[in-house]
Structure 1
Amino acid sequence: MVAMYKEGYSTSEIGKAANVTPRYVRTILHANDVSLRPRGSWKRKYTLNEDYFKTWSNNMAYILGFFAADGNLPKDNQTVSFSQKDPDILEKIKKEINSNQPLYQNAKTGVYVLNLNSKILKHDLMELHGFRPNKSAVLEFPEIPEPYLHHFIRGYFDGDGYVNYEQFEVVFVGGSIAFMERLRKILTKQNLNTTIRYYSNYTRVYLRGRKTIKLFAEWIYRREGEIFLQRKFQVFSNEYKHSSVLQDRIKKNTKQAVKKRKQLFLDKYQQSNNLEQACHYTRIVKATYYNWLKSDSIFRNKIQEIKSKNNFLKEDIVYYRIYILNNS
């Protein structure tokens, strides 16, 4: 407690981190002969862009969405608070808002908290964007300009959403029915397969299906260089890598299958010296044979070796031309 206070934390922040009251913190500080700062002076120690929420940008929309999920406006002081178990995303938010306010970690829950002390920030979140103290159950979906909508959704997803690729689903969680119903309408408008379920204390919106979550990821991450939660982005990235590997494997298996079928055709053609029988045995049509003959020089050379006379190959070419004319 003494070390945190000397680093600039307030008694309220220290109390939250230690799960004790600010009064108890002050008692500990007095017991350790620590001189207390004038009440309220600590709030001016750290800098930030107090007008940040006045101007729309991609990252502002993201932070607004993240705040809708993991933010808080205390009733009793002029503070804007963000909470997350991943400190990296809070550091990115700090940097974006030009703040040097240190994070603190709640000793009981392990959650990291970023407190931005600004009357202006709090006012703008309430008056410009409609947020209220203790917003969980009464949160309204803010009016987001269309170009910034997917950034806001990405922010909310990073705060109160998760992806499960084993079941091919993305899930959003929220305490406000009105907010979640509006969220579902927006996602449905993006041609995503959505469902909604109501529980006693919260509501969930589901995106289901491999195609749907792929489209969702492409929508919210379509601009590089923006803020996002790395561990959630990585889940989508792993799926893309998996899909790429899967497609390469399919192509490889297809090539091997065609190679085997060609060899089977050659074996049967050598035995029968009959095009019809070889096609029937290997379950291909004549057009496939002619395509192999035209595009695969190795196959064509092996056919030449099988044939006892060159005019047989010429005969195949004639048949090929007749086949094309009859089917054109």
Structure 2
Amino acid sequence: MPRNPAITDDIIIEMYKSGMSYKEMQPIIGLSDRAIRNVIHKNGIEINRKQYSGQPRKHKVNEHFFKVWSHEMAWVLGLFLTDGCVNNKIHSVTLTQKDERMLRLVADLMEADYVLAPIRPTRKTPTLIINSKKIKEDLMQLGIHANKSLTVQFPDVPAEFLPSFVRGVIDGDGWVDHEGYTMNVTSASKSFAEQLHFIFQTWELNSMIIINKTKTGNPIYRVWVKGKDHLITLSKLIYKVEIGEYLTYKRINMSQHSKEQMSYLEYLLNHKNFEIINRIKKK
């Protein structure tokens, strides 16, 4: 029985570690359960006898998470739009972040098992795996597809939850300078960049789009917000609702020119068990 095209050992290991049974894996991979076990053994992965017995997997996740809007759901959606990936071969989605504490928070919010993809030469950043056909379908309904970077559209987010969604986009893929005067989000999707720019304008922020070219000549779109007062306004909007007990340096950099906000952040750190993550050293 030949292995299905494009199914690598890493993909087999990801499915196995997620808790899928051999019975579920066989039609996707195209190998017998013995051949799958040989791949697992060859890569030094400990064999789980319950999976060998063919018992149904028990992959924990709230499969209704993306069906009901909330600030937490909108924030996670923003992260998936920027740093997530929908697998077009299996019913799996992944989220990549340098700081695992953010991945753990996403797993907690989604009531998902905390399963990380194996580290390999082309993937050295921690990556959360969620195997669920329903989660994958719901993300696709919201506009997040495989190979989305060039074509992703701005989701139809209810106005109440729009700031939390934008926070997810910025927490995931935004950049804020250390002095707190500029912020930008980079996207390869013209449509998404233009809609984000429009949102910033409706919030009366000093925003603009600058188009650059990659080394291969493809356009990329940087959506900017400039001016310390405008960054203070932006931070007040997107961080109004607390999600998780942590502060990113993006938030601190955005807020540093506001005594009111810095006093609030100091209060959170000293009295609410908050911690700072994603620290970037000044050069």
**Alignment length (residue pairs):** 230
1:234 shift after superposition = 3.0
**Structure 1 moving runs of 4+ over 4 Å:** 23-28, 30-39, 225-229, 241-245
Q: State how 1:1-328 maps to structure 2 within 5 Å.
A: 11-12=13-14, 26-27=38-39, 29-30=41-42, 35=47, 44-104=57-117, 106-108=119-121, 109-127=123-141, 129-166=142-179, 168-200=181-213, 201=218, 202-225=220-243, 230-240=248-258
1:222 shift after superposition = 1.3
Structure with higher Rg: it is 1
1:231 shift after superposition = 3.3
Structure 2 distance, partners of 1:155, 1:133, is 19
Give the TM-score normalised by structure 1.
Answer: 0.62
Gaps of 5+ in 2: 1-10, 18-34, 264-283
1:67 shift after superposition = 0.7
CA deviation digits over 1:190-210, x for unaligned, max 9? 000011011234210011111
Whether the 8 Å contact between 1:169 and 1:213 is mirrored in structure 2 is: yes
Give the TM-score normalised by structure 2.
Answer: 0.71
**Counterpart amino acid of residue 234 in structure 1:** I
Q: 1:228 to 1:79 in 2, by over 3 A?
A: farther
CA deviation digits over 1:40-76, x for unaligned, max 9? x699243110111000001001101111100110100
C-alpha RMSD over aligned residues: 3.4
Percentage of identical aligned residues: 29
1:185 shift after superposition = 0.2
User: Greater share of helix residues, 1 or 2?
Assistant: 1
Whether the 8 Å contact between 2:255 and 2:262 is mirrored in structure 1 is: no
1:35 shift after superposition = 4.7
Structure 1 distance, partners of 2:83, 2:194, is 19
Gaps of 5+ in 1: 1-8, 16-22, 246-328
Structure 2 distance, partners of 1:58, 1:170, is 22
Bigger relative contact order, structure 1 or 2 (CA pairs below 8 A, ≥6 apart): 2
